[in-house]
Every structure is written in C-alpha cells, then in structure tokens.
Amino acid sequence: MNEVVRLALEEDIGTGDVTSRVCMPESRMARGRFLARERLVIAGLDLLGEIYQLRGGVEELSVLKHDGDSCAEGEVIATVRGRARTLLECERVALNFLQRLSGVATLARQYADAVAGTGCKVLDTRKTTPGLRMLEKRAAAAGGVTNHRIGLFDAILIKNNHIAAAGGVRQAMDAARSSGLPIEIEVRTREELREALDSGAGHLLLDNLTPAEAADWVREIGGLAKVELSGGVTLDTVRAYAEAGADFVSAGAITHSARAMDISFRLELA
C-alpha cells in the first residue's frame, strides 16, 4: 500500500507544509491523539505507520485498537510522538484514510448484523473508489462482510452483456468452463434460469427482484445452485432478502455510499 500512501502524501504536502514551517521550529516535539468522535468500527490503522515512515518517521506510535474493533465516542484510537511538523503535515492524510475506511467498516458491520442468524452472507462489490479497492475491501472484511471478486481477473461473473455477446446462456456457460475459475451467472428470466441450471450452473445471480419475488425464484431453484441477490439492497431491506432464502446478498452501498466517520486528531507539545 506504500504507493497509495505516497501519492496521498504528495497530493497534500506538495513542496512542503508552509504553515507548519512558519509557525514552529523544526526541532519542536509534540504528541498527538486520534479520537473517535462517535461510535464506529475502526479500519485502516496499519496505514498510520506507513504514513509517518514515508515522512521520516516518529519517535513513538501506539495503536490502541485493531481493525474491526468497535470504538466508543471519545475513545482514544492511537497516540503518536514526534516532530510537530511531521505530525501536522501527516494529519489530514491520516484522518482521510481512517475516516473513509472506518466508514466502510462501520457500514459493513451494520449490514452483517442485520442478517445475523439467517445463514446468509453479505458480499461487497467492485463499486469502490478508484485506486483504493484493496483498502476498502479490507475495511469491509474488518466490518464483517465477505469480500467478493477483487477484480475482473479472479472469478467468472457472466452478466447480461456477456450473455448477449456470447449468443446465449448456454454458449456463455460452455465457453467459461475452459477458464477453470469459479463461475457465477446472472439470470433475468425464468427461461434463462432453466437454461442456466440445465447447463450446470452452480452459482446464480438474481438482480433487481423484490424480496417476495426472490423467495419465489429461490423456491424454484430448490437448492440446485447457490443464490446471490443484488440490486437495491439497503440496510432496511437486506434482512428481508436474506430471509428470502438467499445464500448471499451483495450490496454496493457498503463501499460506494459509506460516509466518513468523525475522527479527530488532537496535538499538544511534548
């Protein structure tokens, strides 16, 4: 992750933190505390060490939580001691990562808790911030959901446009088997469903159904394949989809709509 962190620091600091340069001598030492300003699930803590290391290091960094831990309002997440200039020039980048990734982890935990006891797993998606996918996927997992595909390279997911380009469900399934990768296929009609099952599909994606419609489709599938439901899944509806009998429910909102959590950095002279 060093490259992502390096780019973030370069973007913010540029040729130097001019405010810190004029306000304090280079030798001045300080301590800082990262504080949760609301209840949250923390993520991204391992980036703190990388951030400070890339700016010359600090004398002491104490991380008091682990990714996936719950934090109460007012709880100290981590402390750091070093040159005041270093702490200040790294402050915004550190907070941006912690706030964003903790937002993903917090929302992921809410989704995971919402389906507890159903036997259904919540999946994340590829709807991530460009360049931050691995970080956001790790944050989602820390929150308790299951990582789905990392990218286009690690599993086969045949969707409607692939079916159209291949000439049909059976043609797409037959061609995909040569990859040796896990295969999932989206079906939009009962005809496509029957064709997919007849072609040996073991993992089906059903998109944009209501919970009641999904339950009807799941009954027809009758355990012949694993079922993933997606499309319009929210915190208010995810349990209903899980109770429809799905093995998996995927929610892009976990990464594309998570809000930044309120985390602050308090500095004092050492």
Could you confirm whether 259 is annotated as catalytic? no
Question: Which pLDDT value is given to residue 7?
Answer: 97
**Quick one: pLDDT at residue 2?**
84
Indicate whether this model's pTM tops 0.75: yes
Known active-site residue 38: no
159 catalytic residue (yes or no):
yes
Q: Collect all residues with Cβ–Cβ distance below 8 Å to 188 and sequence separation of at least 6.
A: 160, 207
Q: Which of 37, 92, 133, 226 is catalytic?
A: 92
Average pLDDT over residues 258-266: 98
Residue matched to tokens 């005809």: 191
Catalytic residue, candidates 126, 159, 188, 226: 159
What the chain holds in terms of domains, given with CATH numbers, is 2-103+259-269 (3.90.1170.20), 146-250 (3.20.20.70)
The CA-atom distances, in angstroms, between 88 and each of 53, 56, 70, 75 are 14, 13, 26, 21
Q: Give residue-wise pLDDT tens across range 6-57.
A: 999 999 999 999 999 999 999 999 999 999 999 999 999 999 999 999 999 9
Backbone dihedral angles phi then psi of residue 25, each to the nearest 5 degrees? -70, 155
Query: In this prediction, what percent of the chain has a pLDDT beyond 90?
Result: 97
**Residue 111 predicted with pLDDT over 70:** yes
Is-catalytic flag, 226? no
pLDDT band at 1 (very low <50, low <70, confident <90, very high): low
Query: Phi and psi of 82, rounded to 5°?
Result: 180, -165
Q: Of these residues, 12, 50, 113, 207, which one is catalytic?
A: 207
82-86 mean pLDDT: 97
Q: Is 198 a catalytic residue?
A: no
Model confidence pLDDT, tens digit, residues 153-195: 999 999 999 999 999 999 999 999 999 999 999 999 999 999 9
Q: Residues 194-225: pLDDT tens digits?
A: 999 999 999 999 999 999 999 999 999 999 99
Which one of the listed residues 17, 89, 136, 186 is annotated catalytic? Answer: 186
